[in-house]
Amino acid sequence: MILEFILGNFNYWICTALFLIGFYAMIAKKNLIKKAMGFDIAETSIFLFIISTADVEGGTVPITMGGEVLYANPLPHCLILTAIVVALTTTAVALSMAVKIYEHYGTLDAEKLMEL
């Protein structure tokens, strides 16, 4: 019963674990680039979560060839594609800012930067 619950929802567990890892990195890591990695991991976990919910048991790719075909929900894939672009842009902005911060202050340590 419990095993079934755990195994049946294994995608949720993995997503939750990834999310927590990412969130931890965001909060606890001092290095700004590690923080950026952290929020990327967290965001990716949510992407995985949404895509995994699109799965239909026994479904195929959503290309209609005439007739009744069981296919996976295509909408989440489209959404996540867009969201990935957003995440990518944000990461790019974050990393370029990190570069600038390093150029200006010579450090990426969040605690040292806060003292400025």
For other proteins, the binding residues (CB under 8 A) are: 26, 32, 35, 39, 42-43, 46, 49-50, 53, 76, 79, 82-83, 86, 89-90, 93-94, 97-98, 100-101, 104-105, 113-114, 116
CA separation for the pair 91, 98 (Å, rounded): 10
| Residue 64 or 82 having the CB closest to other proteins | 82
Phi-psi region of 54 (alpha: psi -120 to 50; beta: other; left: phi over 0): alpha
Least distance in angstroms from the C-beta of 42 to other proteins: 6
- Other CB atoms within 10 Å distance of the CB of residue 82: 9
Query: In whole angstroms, how close is the CB of 79 to other proteins at the nearest point?
Result: 6
67: left (phi over 0), alpha (psi -120 to 50) or beta: left
Task: State the nearest-atom distance from the C-beta of 82 to other proteins, in Å.
Answer: 6
CB 52 within 8 A of CB 15: yes
Nearer to other proteins, 14 or 101 (CB): 101
Q: How many residues does the chain have?
A: 116
Q: Whose Cβ is closer to other proteins: residue 2's or residue 76's?
A: 76
Q: Which is nearer to other proteins, 72 or 83 (CB)?
A: 83
CB 69, min distance to other proteins, A: 19
Round to whole Å and give the CA distance between 41 and 87.
Answer: 10
